[in-house]
Amino acid sequence: MCLAQYADDGLFAPRKIADAFRTTSEEIARTAGLGKDAIQRKDRLRSDKTQKRLREMIEVVNKVEPRFGSALMAYAWYRSEPLSGFSGQTAMQLVRDGRAEDVLDYIDAIDAGVHA
10-24, pLDDT tens digit by residue?
899 999 999 999 999
Domain membership of residue 39 (yes or no) is: yes
User: Which amino acid is present at 68?
Assistant: F
Query: In the chain, how many domains are there?
Result: 1
Domain membership of residue 101 (yes or no) is: yes
Domain membership of residue 84 (yes or no) is: yes
Q: At what angle do helices 14-21 and 48-68 cross, to 10 degrees?
A: 20
Instruction: Count helices and strands (H / E) in the chain.
Output: 8, 2
* Domain membership of residue 86 as a residue range: 3-111
As a whole number, mean pLDDT of residues 67-74 equals 94
In the predicted model, is pLDDT for residue 115 greater than 70?
Answer: no
Domain membership of residue 116 (yes or no) is: no
pLDDT band at 75 (very low <50, low <70, confident <90, very high): very high
In the predicted model, is pLDDT for residue 1 greater than 70?
Answer: no
- Count other Cβ atoms within 10 Å, centred on residue 71: 21
